[in-house]
Structure 1
Amino acid sequence: MLKNTIALVALYATTTLAVQSLVIEGSNFVNSNTGNRYQIVGVAYQPGGEAGYKPQSGVDALSNGTVCLRDAALMQRLGVNAIRVYNVSPDINHDECASIFNAVGIYMLLDVNSPFSGESINRGDPSSSYTSSYLNRTFAVVEAFKNYPNTLLFFAGNEVINDVSSGKVIPPYMRAVTRDLKNYIAKHSKRVIPVGYSAADVRDNLLDSWNYLQCSTTGDASDPSRVDLFALNSYSWCGDANFQTSSYDRLISDFKNTSVPIFFSEYGCNKPSPRIFTEVPVLYGPLMTPVMSGGLVYEYSQEKSDYGLVTINTDGSVQLRADFDALQGQYNKLNVTALQGVKAENTSVVPPRCASNLITTDFYNNFTIPSLPSRAQELIDNGIKTSNSGKLVPVTTTKVTLGVQSSSGAPMDLSITVLADDQSNTPSGQTPVTSPTGTTPSSSPTPTKKSGASNVKVASCALLGVGFLAAVLL
C-alpha cells in the first residue's frame, strides 16, 4: 500500500496543469467549463521584432525557456491573459515556452505566416504564392501548436488587405487559406482551434473585409471558408482621447451585428509618449464589451517603432518602461468579475449569407474562391510529415534568473506563480514598482477569484488528496 501511495504522490507531483481551452459561440469566446464569456487582455510578443526571428539558428519568440520564464513572470504581474506571436518556426521545439505560458494562464494567438519568401500570401501576386508548399508550411505550424491547450487561435493573414488595390484581389485567397487551415485542423486536431484574420484599420475597406470574411456561402456557420473571428489593428485612440474622438463609437456601431468575435489584434497609439492607456477602461467597459472581445497592446518589447512596454538588453536583462507602469495601473482598475465572470450572450448568431450586396465599395465581391493547389488535398487528407508535434511538459523552474529592473532601476526578484488547473491570468491589483526602495519587490500576483495557487500550494493540495485517498484505502 505504501508503495502505491508513493507512486500516486509522484503522479500528482508531475501532473501538468492546463488552462481551459476556449471555444467560440456566436460572437463570443467562451470558457466551455463555466459558460462565461472570455475577454482577451493581451500583448503582442515578438522580442527583437522581425530580426529576432532566426529559424535557421533555431530561434523564434518561443524557443528559449529562460527568456519565456522571465517574460511570463512580468506578464503575469502585468495582468495579461494572452500573447500574440507573429513569427514562429514549425521546426523548432516550443514545449518549454508554451508550457510556461500555460502554467501562468496565458493563451497564445499565432500567425501561420512569416516574413520569408514563400511563407505568406503575396498581396501583389496572390496566385503565385498560394501553393502546396505554402500550405505545407502553414499546416506545419498547426502541427507544432495544436496540442497545447493554450493555443487559442491561428491567424490566416495579417493586414494582407491593406488598401483599395489589395481589396480587389486578395479577399478570395484569405477565404481559401482559412478553408484549408480549418479543414486540416478538423481532420488532424483533437479539438477545434479557431482560424481568423487580422485586418488593417483602413476605413476604405475594413467593413467590406469583415463582411466578406464572416459571411457564409451555406447560410450557417458550417462553411469552412468563413473566418471564426475577425480582429483589427487599431491605433485611433491617442493620448487622452475618448469614445467619440477616437472613433471607437463608430467601430461599435459598425460591428454591432457581428456573427463572430471581434477584438483588437493590436492597439495602443504611442503619441504622446509615455502612453497613458486611457482606452483600457473603455475597451473593457460597458460601451464596448457587448460587441468587442478585448484586445492586445502593441507591444511587449521596445523595438525601433517605439511601442515597447519593456527594454530588453543584450545580456538578457530587462527594464520596465513607463508604459508598463501606466498599462498595469489601468488594468488594475478593471472589474475582473464583470470582465470574465459574465455568462455569454448572442451565442447562436446566424452569419449573413454571402452576396455581392454585402460589399459597399470597390472591393472584391465574388465569393467563388480558389481551388486547392495541386497535391494540397493529399496534405489535408493524410497530414504532413513532421517530427515536431508539441506537447506540454512539467514546469520545474519558477524563479527568474535573468536580471529585471523596475522603470526607475529598482531590482525585481521575480518568479512565476503556477495557476491551478483550468485557470487563466487576470490583473492582480498590485501597485506598479516605480521607485527604488531598500527591499526587493515580489512578483507574485495578489490572489483573485481567477488566480490559482503556487507550486507549493498545488503540491500541498496534491499531497492532501493523496493522503485522503491513502486513508480511504487503508
Structure 2
Amino acid sequence: MLFQAGLVALGATLAAAVQPLEVKGNYFVNSDTGNRFQIVGAAYQPGGSSAYNPDLGKDPLSDKDTCLRDAAILQVLGVNAIRVYNLDPNLNHDECASIFNAAGMYMLLDVNSPLVGESINSGEPWTSYYAAYLNRTFAVVEAFKSYPNTLLFFAGNEVIWDVHAGTIVPPYMRAVTRDIKNYISKHSDRKIPVGYSAADVREILFDSWEYLQCSEDGTTDDPSRVDVFALNSYSWCGDATFKSSTYEDLVEGFQNSSVPLFFSEYGCNTPSPRVFTEVPTIYGPQMTGVFSGGVVYEYSQEENNFGLVNISSDGSVTLRTDYNTLKAQYAGLNFTDIEGAKPPSGDSPSPPKCSAKLITGKEDFTTNFTLPAVPPGAQDIIDDGVSPKPSGKLVTISDWTVKQTVRNADGSTIQGLAVKPLDDDSINAPGSNTATGLQTGTATAAATATGTSSSTSTPSSSQNAAPGFSPSGSGMPVSTIIAIAFSTVIGSLILAC
C-alpha cells in the first residue's frame, strides 16, 4: 500500500512552532496555556553511538536532509519529542533544530558522549570530573540553549548503574548537575531543566531518585538538585499488565516526587515485532498522576533490534511493523485530553531535605551529601562562558520535502512525504501530518510475535539499551549487553518487517 502525504508548500519558512516549557513542581507545563505536557517521544540516534564522530564532523542533528527525512516520518507517527544521546557542540545544528521545531517536536539532549573525557566514569568518577570535561559539557549547553524546542539536558545516563556505583557516583552526579545549572543561570535567557536518566535497577532506583531530588536546604533553589528524574525501563513485555510489569510499583514508589518523572527509554523487544500494549497505560489514569509520558527506544534499527525503521546505506528508509503498531497505539489515545489537562490544584510535593534517612534500600547506597568542589579552572568557565562559544538559532527552511526514498513495511514507495510546519506554539500529535494508505492493522494485533511472549521481565541494567554508554562508562555500546540479555530469542527476531 502507498503511504500518501500531502505536499507542503515550498515557500521559505522560519520555523517557530513550539513554546518553551517550564517545570512547575512535578509537571512540565506550557506557561502560556497552563496545560501539562506529556512526552510522547522517540530515541533518535541513527547509526548508534558511531553516529557521533568528531573526526568525521557529523552527529545526529548535523545533516539537514537526514533530519527532514526523519522528522517527517516521526511527525506522521505522532511523537512530540526526540531524545538525542551524543552531540558535537562544534557543529552547526540550526537547520535540524529548526526542522524538528517546525514539526512540533522538543529535544531532550544528553550532554555526554561515549568518548573518553566526555562523560563521568562510573567506576572512578573522580578521574573524569575536571575542567576540560565541564568545558565540553557547557559547550553542548551553549550550542542548544537558544533553540525554543530544547526541553532539557540530561547530566547523566545510567551512570549509577549498579550497587557499587551507588556507593561512589551520586555526589558527582549532583556536582555535575550543580555546575550545569549554574552555567545556565549565568548564560541562558531562560531556565532549561537539567535531569538524570536512570537505569531501572530496582535495588538502587528509588535511592537514586531520593538522593538526586532532595534539597540541601529544603527548597527548590538548590542547584545540585535535579529538575527532572527519568528512567530507562523495559519491564513491560508482550501481554504484561500494570501489575505484572511492575509499573504499579513504580507509580507507588514515585508518588511523592517533587520533580517530573518520565520513561527516558521504554519498549521491551520481547516478543518481536513489538505490540506496545504499555502505551495506553503510560498515558492513562493509572500513570499520568505521577509520570509525564515516555520515550520509545528507538527510531532506527541497530544491532540490538529495537528499531521502528530500517535505514539503508544509501539513505533510504523502510518502515518496520513496529512503526505501524506504535502508530496505531498512539492513534487510540485522546491527545486533546492528554495535552489539555491542567496540573492538579494545590501545591506540588516539596523537595525533601537531604538526609541519610531518605536512603532506605538494603544496599550500601551512599548517604554522603558532601559534594565535590568545582574542579580547578572550572569556576572561571562557569563565570565567563566557554571559549570559543558555540551558538544556535532558528533559521529559514526553504523546502520541506523529503529527498530520500522512504518505503512502507510492504516495500511500496511512499509518495510526496514532507514535513508539515505547524502553527506557532503548536505541538505535534497524531494527525498533524496526515497520511493515507498506511497499513497499520490494529493496535493489539498488528504485530504477530514470532518470539516467545513474556508477560513481564525483571528490571535490571541488562535490559537497558542506551547507545551512548555502557554501564561501566567505558563507551562500549550497551547493544552488546542487550544481545546477551535476549540471546534466547535472537534466533526468532524479525530484522526486516
Bin the TM-score by the shorter chain. 0.7 to 0.9
Instruction: Show the counterpart of 2:85.
Output: 86
Q: CA deviation at 1:189?
A: 0.3
Which blocks of at least 5 consecutive residues in structure 2 are unaligned? 1-10, 441-497
**Deviations for 1:187-206, whole angstroms, at most 9, x for unmatched residues?**
00000000000000001100
Instruction: Show the counterpart of 1:224.
Output: 223
SS of residue matched to 2:396:
coil
**Deviations for 1:237-275, whole angstroms, at most 9, x for unmatched residues?**
001111011001010000111000000000000000000
- Contact in 1 for aligned 2:12/2:396 (Cα 8 Å): no
Cα distance in structure 1, aligned partners of 2:127 and 2:295: 32
- Contact in 1 for aligned 2:139/2:389 (Cα 8 Å): no
- The answer to whether residue 212 in structure 2 is matched with residue 209 in structure 1 is no
Cα distance in structure 2, aligned partners of 1:349 and 1:411: 51
Larger Rg: 1
Instruction: Show the counterpart of 1:41.
Output: 40
Cα distance in structure 2, aligned partners of 1:117 and 1:93: 23
SS of residue matched to 1:100:
helix
- The answer to whether residue 264 in structure 2 is matched with residue 265 in structure 1 is yes
Aligned-pair identity in percent equals 62
Cα distance in structure 2, aligned partners of 1:372 and 1:296: 32
SS of residue matched to 1:338:
helix
Cα distance in structure 2, aligned partners of 1:129 and 1:432: 52
Cα distance in structure 2, aligned partners of 1:213 and 1:336: 31
Cα distance in structure 1, aligned partners of 2:203 and 2:296: 24
Instruction: Show the counterpart of 2:484.
Output: none
Cα distance in structure 2, aligned partners of 1:283 and 1:430: 25
SS of residue matched to 2:382:
helix
Instruction: Show the counterpart of 2:422.
Output: 419
- The answer to whether residue 403 in structure 2 is matched with residue 398 in structure 1 is no
- Contact in 1 for aligned 2:12/2:397 (Cα 8 Å): no
Q: CA deviation at 1:387?
A: 4.3
- The answer to whether residue 379 in structure 2 is matched with residue 380 in structure 1 is no
Instruction: Show the counterpart of 2:241.
Output: 242
- Contact in 1 for aligned 2:12/2:399 (Cα 8 Å): no
Q: CA deviation at 1:360?
A: 1.3
Q: CA deviation at 1:388?
A: 2.3
Q: CA deviation at 1:14?
A: 5.5
One-letter amino acid of the structure 1 residue matched with residue 162 of structure 2: D
Q: CA deviation at 1:432?
A: 6.8
- List structure 1 segments (4+ residues) > 4 angstroms apart after TM superposition: 12-15, 429-432
- Contact in 1 for aligned 2:215/2:351 (Cα 8 Å): yes
- Contact in 1 for aligned 2:196/2:230 (Cα 8 Å): yes
The 5-angstrom pairing of residues 40-119 of structure 1 reads: 40-119=39-118
- Contact in 1 for aligned 2:171/2:371 (Cα 8 Å): yes
- Contact in 1 for aligned 2:15/2:99 (Cα 8 Å): no
The 5-angstrom pairing of residues 453-468 of structure 1 reads: none
Report the RMSD for the aligned CA atoms in angstroms.
Answer: 1.3
- Contact in 1 for aligned 2:276/2:325 (Cα 8 Å): yes
- Contact in 2 for aligned 1:80/1:427 (Cα 8 Å): yes
- Contact in 2 for aligned 1:325/1:432 (Cα 8 Å): no
One-letter amino acid of the structure 2 residue matched with residue 338 of structure 1: D
- Contact in 1 for aligned 2:17/2:421 (Cα 8 Å): no
- Contact in 2 for aligned 1:103/1:395 (Cα 8 Å): no
Q: 1:189 and 1:58, CA in 2 relative to 1: closer, same or farther beyond 3 A? A: same
- Contact in 2 for aligned 1:238/1:271 (Cα 8 Å): yes
Match for 1:434 among 433, 439, 443? 439
- Contact in 1 for aligned 2:15/2:101 (Cα 8 Å): no
Which blocks of at least 5 consecutive residues in structure 1 are unaligned? 1-11, 436-474
Moved more, 261-270 or 335-344: 335-344
Q: 1:430 and 1:180, CA in 2 relative to 1: closer, same or farther beyond 3 A? A: same
Q: How many residues align?
A: 424
**Deviations for 1:374-423, whole angstroms, at most 9, x for unmatched residues?**
01110011111124201110121111010000111111120111000111
The 5-angstrom pairing of residues 307-456 of structure 1 reads: 307-345=306-344, 348-361=348-361, 362-413=364-415, 414-428=417-431, 433-434=438-439
Q: 1:14 and 1:80, CA in 2 relative to 1: closer, same or farther beyond 3 A? A: closer
Cα distance in structure 2, aligned partners of 1:298 and 1:93: 26
Cα distance in structure 1, aligned partners of 2:437 and 2:263: 25
- Contact in 1 for aligned 2:265/2:297 (Cα 8 Å): yes
Cα distance in structure 1, aligned partners of 2:26 and 2:12: 39
Cα distance in structure 2, aligned partners of 1:48 and 1:163: 27
Q: CA deviation at 1:52?
A: 1.6
Cα distance in structure 2, aligned partners of 1:432 and 1:106: 24
Q: 1:416 and 1:311, CA in 2 relative to 1: closer, same or farther beyond 3 A? A: same
Q: CA deviation at 1:13?
A: 6.8
Moved more, 52-61 or 193-202: 52-61
**Deviations for 1:344-382, whole angstroms, at most 9, x for unmatched residues?**
226643111100000013101111100000011100111
SS of residue matched to 2:152:
strand
Higher helix share: 1
SS of residue matched to 1:140:
helix
Cα distance in structure 2, aligned partners of 1:110 and 1:382: 23
Higher RCO (CA 8 Å, separation ≥ 6 residues) = 2
Q: CA deviation at 1:321?
A: 0.2
One-letter amino acid of the structure 1 residue matched with residue 425 of structure 2: D
Cα distance in structure 2, aligned partners of 1:304 and 1:324: 17
Q: 1:50 and 1:375, CA in 2 relative to 1: closer, same or farther beyond 3 A? A: same
Cα distance in structure 1, aligned partners of 2:201 and 2:132: 31
- Contact in 1 for aligned 2:196/2:229 (Cα 8 Å): yes
TM-score by length of 2: 0.84
One-letter amino acid of the structure 1 residue matched with residue 406 of structure 2: V
Q: 1:73 and 1:197, CA in 2 relative to 1: closer, same or farther beyond 3 A? A: same
Moved more, 414-423 or 13-22: 13-22
Q: CA deviation at 1:121?
A: 0.4
Instruction: Show the counterpart of 1:286.
Output: 285
Q: 1:18 and 1:337, CA in 2 relative to 1: closer, same or farther beyond 3 A? A: closer
Q: CA deviation at 1:85?
A: 0.3
One-letter amino acid of the structure 2 residue matched with residue 205 of structure 1: I
Cα distance in structure 2, aligned partners of 1:263 and 1:13: 36
Cα distance in structure 2, aligned partners of 1:292 and 1:339: 12
- The answer to whether residue 196 in structure 2 is matched with residue 197 in structure 1 is yes
Instruction: Show the counterpart of 2:21.
Output: 22
Q: CA deviation at 1:134?
A: 0.3
Q: CA deviation at 1:16?
A: 3.8
Instruction: Show the counterpart of 2:453.
Output: none
